[in-house]
Amino acid sequence: MKVIVIGTGIGGLCAAIGLAARGCNVEAWEAAPAAGGKAGTTLIDGLAVDTGPSLLTLPEAFDAALARAGVKLTDLVRLVRPDPAFLYRWPDGVALPVYSEAHRTLESVERVLGSNARAELARFLAHVAQTWSLAAPNFIYAPGVALTDLFSPRIVASLAALEPFRTMDAAICRRVKEPHLRDLLRRYATYNGSHPGRAPATLNCIAHVELTLGGFGVEGGIHRLVEALLGLARERGVHFEFGRPATRVLVQRGRVIGVEASGLTVAADAVVCNADVAHLTGTLLPEARAQLPDPGQPSLSGWTGIFRATGKVEAAHTVLFPRDYSEEFVDLFDGRTPPHDPAVYASAPALAHAAPRWEDAQPLFTMVNAPAGWTGDAAPLAALVRARLGAAGLLGADDPLRWSRTPAELARSFPGSQGAIYGGSSNDMMAAFQRPPNRVPGIRGLYLAGGSAHPGGGMPLCALSGRSAVAACLADAGAA
């Protein structure tokens, strides 16, 4: 069976590996000059520095995605546990270290915020552990859920514990009174680009994934994971074409027959689209729009920058909270503008991933949230980020900004995305049931993998989307 994979992000790479492992003839077409999608890099003064994801969670998702190839993630890369993983800082002087081990985080919370705060977080983590145990099999590892599944026994039995009709914020405030902890837990909504006051409480299980299951680095940087997946795909026989943007998916009598790229037509029995779903329905195959759910509100975008930093960085990842974190979401989702007083995220690859640094400085990747589709002047935002990092001691006065990217630039690099980092947002109680499935209904041989399809955005979920696309493709070919 001949399969063309459009796009070589994490989902596309995992799909290509899984299909090739089952004997398929796989070609992977990539518009960019290199693999990785949003998990990209830039070269700064001789160092390859990640420009996308900076934290790895749920490594077992990659084990599941690579199982057909008989490979585990740790066969490809070495994982790193930074110590501490995060340092959360507030304007009132509170500084809270957080670790990859829940018991150490609880001890840190007790030292900094007191025994009552520790007890609140412990109860919350116990609750979201139960949420994860119910949600993961049904919404994450399952091949997909439809709205009709809401009434199936397996879902109905879980509804009370999943709190699907309560928001993340309502569920947090119900169990946690300590204001700093509330900020920390609300921030997990941004891990899939959503609003904690609108996203369903089920998504609080993100806290379990990071705080209990652990956040990891990849030795050398996230790009080492991309390189390892690329190498494995080539080893299994995948043929790559870089600098080849697909222009059209060809369908005849309801079945995929090939792909076009700049006048070149290549026949195929199946296509896995690792592009944004909106790019598929808007350009590559507009007739697929009738077969797929409306993507709804896009998830957040962001301004990102990399400084050559000489300041004192104490943790792999640092979050500088504003005085009133709730105002950030008013600006982002109601005002459709970057926050006037944003939370600033900074990641040091040397600490997060045991990655190389310069002798006299280190790369510092920074990000602030911004709305998808935002095209405003980013210079004031960059200046604000510099000032906040400098006041926190993470930057020296003359440390240069060596790379940056705006939401508009991200949108140009990933057609159809509007610059959204995680596909569609989850600002709807039915979002899990409305995400595009991995098998496109009504068009035989067309499959979706990536952050804008089931099960959603973020590296582990993209890997699982690749796995689901493979399973659907092989099942339809009678080769499962």
Give the angle subtended at the CA of 56 by the CAs of 448 and 39, to the nearest 5°. 55
Contact 192/454 with Cβ under 8 angstroms? Answer: no
Rounded to whole angstroms, the Cα distance separating 480 from 478 reads 6
DSSP class of residue 164? T
Q: Helices 168-175 and 179-186 sit at what angle, rounded to 10 degrees?
A: 150
Q: Buried b vs exposed e over 183-195: b needs ≥16 C-beta within 10 Å?
A: bbbbbbbbbbbbb
Rounded to whole angstroms, the Cα distance separating 338 from 325 reads 13
Rounded to whole angstroms, the Cα distance separating 239 from 28 reads 6
Measured CA to CA in angstroms, residue 467 lies from 38, 371, 429, 471 at distances of 19, 30, 26, 6
**pLDDT tens across the length of the chain (480 residues):** 999 999 999 999 999 999 999 999 999 999 999 999 999 999 999 999 999 999 999 999 999 999 999 999 999 999 999 999 999 999 999 999 999 999 999 999 999 999 999 999 999 999 999 999 999 998 899 887 665 555 556 555 555 667 778 999 999 999 999 999 999 999 999 999 999 999 999 999 999 999 999 999 999 999 999 999 999 999 999 999 999 999 999 999 999 999 999 889 999 999 999 999 999 999 999 999 999 988 778 999 999 999 999 999 999 999 999 999 999 999 999 999 999 999 999 999 999 999 999 999 999 999 999 999 999 999 999 999 999 999 999 999 999 999 999 999 999 999 999 999 998 888 886 676 788 999 999 999 999 999 999 999 999 999 999 999 999 999 999 976
**Those residues with Cβ within 8 angstroms of residue 49's Cβ, 6 or more apart along the chain or in another chain:** 41, 42, 43, 221, 306, 349, 355, 363, 365, 403
Q: Give the closest residue to 454 by CA, choosing from 103, 139, 210.
A: 139
Residue type, 108: S
Reported as half-sphere exposure (CB side, CA atoms, 13 A), residue 408 has a value of: 7
Structure tokens at 261: 């790229």
Q: pTM, whole model, 2 decimals?
A: 0.95
Q: What is the pLDDT of residue 146?
A: 60
Q: Considering the domain 2-79+222-297+427-476, what is its CATH architecture?
A: 3-Layer(bba) Sandwich (3.50)
Q: What is the pLDDT of residue 132?
A: 95
* Number of residues that this document lists for the chain: 480
Q: How far is CA 359 from its chain centroid? A: 31
SS3 156: helix
Contact 462/9 with Cβ under 8 angstroms? Answer: yes
Helix (H) or strand (E) holding 89: strand 86-89
Q: What is the pLDDT of residue 138?
A: 84
Q: What is the pLDDT of residue 160?
A: 60
